[in-house]
Amino acid sequence: MNAKETKLPGVLILEPDVFSDERGFFLETWNSKHYENAGIQVPFVQDNVSFSRKGVLRGLHFQYPQSQGKLVQVLSGRVVDVAVDICLGSPAFGQWISEVLSDSNHRQMYIPPGFAHGYCVTSETAVFSYKCTDFYNPATETGIIWNDPDLDIDWPIKQPVLSTKDANYPSLKDLPPDKLPHFQGF
């Protein structure tokens, strides 16, 4: 497995070893020893899968104070995946990265607790999988508006399909400081 650091502290792009032949392919989507060697030393407690159609944008989501780290990947299709550093005091506060995740490149992204996360589907459909370091808690779930002008995220489409909740999140600057995580260092 190849693990690449990004400009955001703690966010990694992972490229699992893929073994292909005329029958198809095999890869490990999780092996605690390999991921610990890459710097991911957290317990995962919940796995989720979502299905979306082309043009759907989910995010930018986060939980606080019950923050979740996520190991995300695409099982079928293609998405542009985005992580935003929202940790107060972080040297990368308000910065974001994006990565194409697909069933053909098999890349994964690890997003530590304290980051907002979202993705936009660019294939006809996509099956998206993610492991979480804490349980989903609707009482601590919130988000940032996908098109926050201060973040200026380069999404692949300009008029995505959004849930009502995602369409009505505030901008990052409009979130009170007590609703944001604090930088703990990595």
pLDDT value of position 184: 78
pLDDT value of position 186: 57
Q: Tell me, what DSSP letter sits at residue 56?
A: B
CATH 3.40.605.10 correct for 43-173:
no
pTM higher than 0.85 for the full model?
yes
pLDDT value of position 183: 87
Query: What are the extents of the domains in the chain?
Result: 43-173
Mean pLDDT of successive 10-residue segments in the chain (186 residues)? 95 96 94 94 96 98 96 98 97 97 98 97 98 96 98 97 98 96 80
CA distance 16 to 18: 6
Q: Tell me, what DSSP letter sits at residue 121?
A: E
CA distance 15 to 57: 24
* Element housing 164 (H / E): helix 164-167
According to DSSP, the residues that pair with 61 across neighbouring strands are 117, 143
User: How far, in whole angstroms, is CA 3 from its chain's centroid?
Assistant: 16
First to last CA, the chain: 21
Detail the DSSP E strand segments found in the chain. Answer: 2-5, 12-15, 18-21, 24-27, 46-53, 57-63, 70-76, 78-85, 96-102, 108-111, 115-121, 125-132, 141-143
List active site positions: 61, 130
